[in-house]
Amino acid sequence: MDKNRKHKINNNIRVRFAPSPTGYLHVGGLRTYLYNWLFAKKHNGKLILRIEDTDRERLVEGAVEDFIDILKKIDLPWDEGPFFQSDNIEKYKNKTQELVDQDKAYYCFCSQERLKKVRKEQKENDLPPKYDGHCRNLDKQEVQNKIDQGEHYVIRLKVPKNDEKIIFNDVIRGEINYNLSEIDDQVLLKSDGWPTYHLANVIDDHDMGISHVIRGEEWLPSTPKHILLYKYFGWTPPQFVHVPLLLNKDQSKLSKRQGDVAVGDYLKKGYLKKALINFLVLLGWHPGTGQEIFSLDELIKSFSLNRIQKSGAVFDNEKLDWINGKYIREMDNKKLVEKCLPFLKDAEIVKEIADNEFEAKNKKRFSKEWLEKIIAVQKERMKTLKDIVELSQIFLTKVDYDSDILIWKKSDKKQTINNLNVIYNSLNKLNENDFNQESIQQSLEKLSNEYGTGKIFWPARVALAGQKNSPQPKEIAEILGKDLSLERIKKAIKILQND
* Mean pLDDT of the chain, nearest integer: 92
- Alpha carbons 252 and 258: distance in angstroms, whole number: 10
- Alpha carbons 298 and 289: distance in angstroms, whole number: 13
Cis preceding-peptide flag for 82 (omega within 30 of 0) = yes
Answer yes or no: do 76 and 210 share one domain.
yes
Domain boundary among 189, 211, 230: 189
Range of the domain at 493: 403-498
**pLDDT above 60: residue 358:** no
Answer yes or no: do 162 and 249 share one domain.
no
Residue 274 and residue 76 in contact, taking contact as beta carbons nearer than 8 Å? no
Q: Does a structural domain hold residue 194? A: no
Domain boundary among 295, 327, 359: 327
Give residue 490's identity as a one-letter amino acid code.
K
Answer yes or no: do 318 and 335 share one domain.
no
Q: Does a structural domain hold residue 448? A: yes
Task: Report how far apart the first and last C-alpha atoms of the chain are (Å, whole number).
Answer: 71
State the DSSP H helix or E strand holding residue 314, giving kind and residue range, or none if neither: strand 313-314
CA angle 159, 163, 169 (to 5 degrees): 80
385-394 pLDDT, tens digit each? 999 999 998 9
Domain boundary among 327, 345, 379: 327
Answer yes or no: do 411 and 367 share one domain.
no
| Secondary structure letter of residue 244 according to DSSP | P
**pLDDT above 60: residue 359:** no
- Alpha carbons 348 and 363: distance in angstroms, whole number: 18
- Alpha carbons 29 and 203: distance in angstroms, whole number: 22
Q: Please report, for the domain that includes residue 437, its CATH number.
A: 1.10.10.350
Answer yes or no: do 129 and 213 share one domain.
no
Which of 47, 125, 36, 35 is closest to 80 using CA atoms?
Answer: 47
State the DSSP H helix or E strand holding residue 167, giving kind and residue range, or none if neither: strand 165-170
Answer yes or no: do 254 and 385 share one domain.
no
- Alpha carbons 371 and 328: distance in angstroms, whole number: 15
Overall domain count for the chain: 4
145-158 pLDDT, tens digit each? 999 999 999 999 99
pLDDT of residue 398: 84
Residue 214 and residue 32 in contact, taking contact as beta carbons nearer than 8 Å? yes
Answer yes or no: do 445 and 319 share one domain.
no
Q: Which residues contact 391 (CB under 8 A, 6 or more apart)?
A: 374, 378, 381, 382
3-state SS assignment for residue 8: coil
**pLDDT above 70: residue 236:** yes
DSSP 3-state percent helix, strand, coil across the chain (nearest 5): 55, 10, 35
Residue 214: other Cβ atoms inside 10 A: 28
**pLDDT above 80: residue 1:** no
Give phi and psi for 318, each to the nearest 5: -65, -40
Q: For helices 333-346 and 368-378, give the axis angle rounded to 10 degrees.
A: 100
Q: Does a structural domain hold residue 391? A: yes
Residue 421: other Cβ atoms inside 10 A: 13
**pLDDT above 90: residue 161:** no
Residue 401 and residue 466 in contact, taking contact as beta carbons nearer than 8 Å? yes
Which of 13-22, 259-268, 348-357, 412-421 shows the lowest mean pLDDT across its residues? 348-357
- Alpha carbons 338 and 325: distance in angstroms, whole number: 16
Which of 56, 63, 105 is closest to 82 using CA atoms?
Answer: 63
Residue 157 and residue 226 in contact, taking contact as beta carbons nearer than 8 Å? no
117-148 pLDDT, tens digit each? 999 999 999 998 999 999 999 999 999 999 99
Q: Does a structural domain hold residue 377? A: yes
pLDDT of residue 365: 56
pLDDT of residue 6: 47
Residue 414: other Cβ atoms inside 10 A: 10
Answer yes or no: do 322 and 442 share one domain.
no
- Alpha carbons 478 and 434: distance in angstroms, whole number: 10
**pLDDT above 70: residue 303:** yes
Over range 89-95, report the average pLDDT. Answer: 97
3-state SS assignment for residue 366: strand
Residues in the chain: 499
pLDDT-above-70 percentage for the chain: 94
Dihedral sign for Cα atoms in the order 135, 137, 142, 148: positive
**pLDDT above 80: residue 94:** yes
**pLDDT above 70: residue 201:** yes
466-486 pLDDT, tens digit each? 888 889 999 999 999 999 999
- Alpha carbons 435 and 190: distance in angstroms, whole number: 75
Answer yes or no: do 280 and 131 share one domain.
no
| pLDDT-based confidence at residue 4 (cuts at 50, 70, 90) | very low
**pLDDT above 80: residue 2:** no
Residue 38: other Cβ atoms inside 10 A: 25
- Alpha carbons 308 and 314: distance in angstroms, whole number: 14
- Alpha carbons 391 and 347: distance in angstroms, whole number: 12
Answer yes or no: do 439 and 471 share one domain.
yes
**pLDDT above 50: residue 28:** yes
**pLDDT above 90: residue 318:** yes
- Which residues are marked as active site? 256
| pLDDT-based confidence at residue 370 (cuts at 50, 70, 90) | confident
**pLDDT above 80: residue 230:** yes
Q: Please report, for the domain that includes residue 47, its CATH number.
A: 3.40.50.620
Q: Does a structural domain hold residue 456? A: yes
| DSSP per-residue codes, 18-82 | ---SSSSPBHHHHHHHHHHHHHHHHTT-EEEEEE----GGG--TTHHHHHHHHHHHHT---SEEE
pLDDT of residue 468: 82
Dihedral sign for Cα atoms in the order 29, 327, 311, 228: positive
Strands, sheet with 174-179, edge to edge from the N-terminal-most edge strand: 174-179, 165-170, 239-243, 212-216
Answer yes or no: do 364 and 225 share one domain.
no
3-state SS assignment for residue 14: strand
Residue 336 and residue 375 in contact, taking contact as beta carbons nearer than 8 Å? yes
What's the pTM value of the predicted model, to 2 decimals?
0.91
Q: Does a structural domain hold residue 303? A: yes
Q: Does a structural domain hold residue 337? A: yes
| pLDDT-based confidence at residue 400 (cuts at 50, 70, 90) | confident
Answer yes or no: do 218 and 205 share one domain.
yes
Q: Please report, for the domain that includes residue 101, its CATH number.
A: 3.90.800.10
Contacts 24+ apart (CB under 8 A), 344-349: 344/371, 344/388, 344/389, 344/392, 344/396, 347/389, 349/389, 349/392, 349/393, 349/396, 349/397
Q: Does a structural domain hold residue 146? A: yes
- Alpha carbons 187 and 474: distance in angstroms, whole number: 71
